Amino acid sequence: MKIALLGDSHLIAEDDPYRGLHGVRSFFKDAWPSFQRLLRRINEESPDLTVMLGDLVDWFSPQNVAFGLDLMSTLRSPWHMVPGNHDIEAPSGGLGQSRFDVNADRGRLAHWHSLGVDLSTRAIDLGSHRLVLLDNSLSDVIAGTEESLRTLLGRGDPTLLCAHVPFDLPSIREYILSVDPTRNLKKYVQSGTPGLYRDVLRGRVTDIFTAHLHFSNVLRDESTRFHLRGLSTSVHDPNRNQTTIAEALVVEHRNGVLTHRAVTAD
């Protein structure tokens, strides 16, 4: 089993109609070639599966979605995606707005679904492991998710879980604030359903992969490893004075051992 995991890419299409935001978010808009190079690097790895951990686009518009899916279509392996908050956030001030104000609506998931992209909570059988894909894009989960997860985890197979937002644990909160003391933890951990990991997932999931933070580390809680993933584009974000190199994580299961390593585009 070999899986490639992509973090946020925040793609913006040239034909997206919110022209006033293109300059404001130019550090993301101009970064798409690094994402394209990273996809080529993933193809060289020949994974069995690729997972995008959300925020494929910087805001929801049909043009941005089409651009993102066109790039993802160059992958030679099957790919899946969990939704990020930006994937369902659309500009709230009209086509002429030049300030990045957005509003989120899970109803926009229907547009992705109409294009063949399933962003619901679901499981994939990988043979040696089960992979659970979780929609926690707005730092919460929809009603019934806890029951669905108990069913999906019921087989007892070793389980990996992919989501966009990191889980709400003291160690994760402390780590985020140690890197960026200004982060709003209501948004940057799963604050809307803080007990989901403790009540449903603890002891039943070996590895959890999340994005959203734009920086990487591996933390541990008992038998579970939390893989916090960075951007999959090379950018300098002036809002955070943060520079990243486009990166993906390759996870392999060989001889009973799960290993992980980063690959970069640059």
Report the candidate in 235, 193, 189 with the shortest Cα–Cα distance to residue 212: 189
Domain ranges of the chain: 2-264
Q: At what angle do helices 32-45 and 62-72 cross, to 10 degrees?
A: 30
- pLDDT at position 240 is 86
The beta-strand segments (E) located in the chain are 2-6, 49-52, 79-81, 89-91, 102-104, 122-125, 130-133, 159-162, 207-210, 217-221, 224-228, 235-237, 242-244, 247-254, 257-264
pTM summary value: 0.97
What's the pLDDT band for 242 if we cut at 50, 70, 90?
A: confident
Going by pLDDT thresholds of 50, 70 and 90, the confidence category of residue 158 is confident
Helix (H, G, I), strand (E, B) or coil at 133: strand
Count CA atoms closer than 13 A to 10's CA, side-chain side: 24
CATH of span 2-264: 3.60.21.10
Band the pLDDT of 226: cuts 50, 70, 90: very high
What are the backbone dihedrals phi and psi of residue 125, each rounded to the nearest 5 degrees, phi first?
Answer: -85, 120
The DSSP symbol for 87 reads: G
pLDDT tens for each residue of 3-30: 999 999 999 999 999 999 999 999 999 9
The pair of three-digit structure tokens given for residue 214, joined into one six-digit string:
């734009």
- Here the contacts of 113-121 (C-beta below 8 Å, separation 24 or greater) are 115/65, 115/66, 115/69, 117/69, 117/81, 118/80, 119/81, 119/82, 119/83, 119/87, 121/145, 121/148, 121/149, 121/152
**Residue 198: count of CB within 10 angstroms of its CB:** 12
Q: pLDDT, tens digit, for every residue of 120-156?
A: 999 999 988 999 999 999 999 999 999 999 988 876 7
Query: DSSP H helical segments within the chain, as ranges?
Result: 19-24, 26-29, 32-45, 62-72, 109-114, 145-152, 170-179, 185-188, 196
Q: Which of 188, 248, 241, 266 minimizes the C-alpha distance to 9? A: 248
Given the structure tokens 């009209």, which residue do they identify? 94
Residue 189 contacts residue 165 (beta carbons within 8 Å): yes
Residue 114 makes CB contacts below 8 A (sequence gap 6+) with: none
d(Cα 258, Cα 60) in Å, to the nearest integer? Answer: 35
Query: What digits encode the pLDDT tens for the residues 72-106?
Result: 999 999 999 999 999 999 999 989 999 999 999 99
Helix (H/G/I), strand (E/B), else coil: 92: coil
pLDDT tens-digit series, residues 167-223: 999 999 999 999 999 999 999 999 999 999 999 999 999 999 999 999 999 999 989
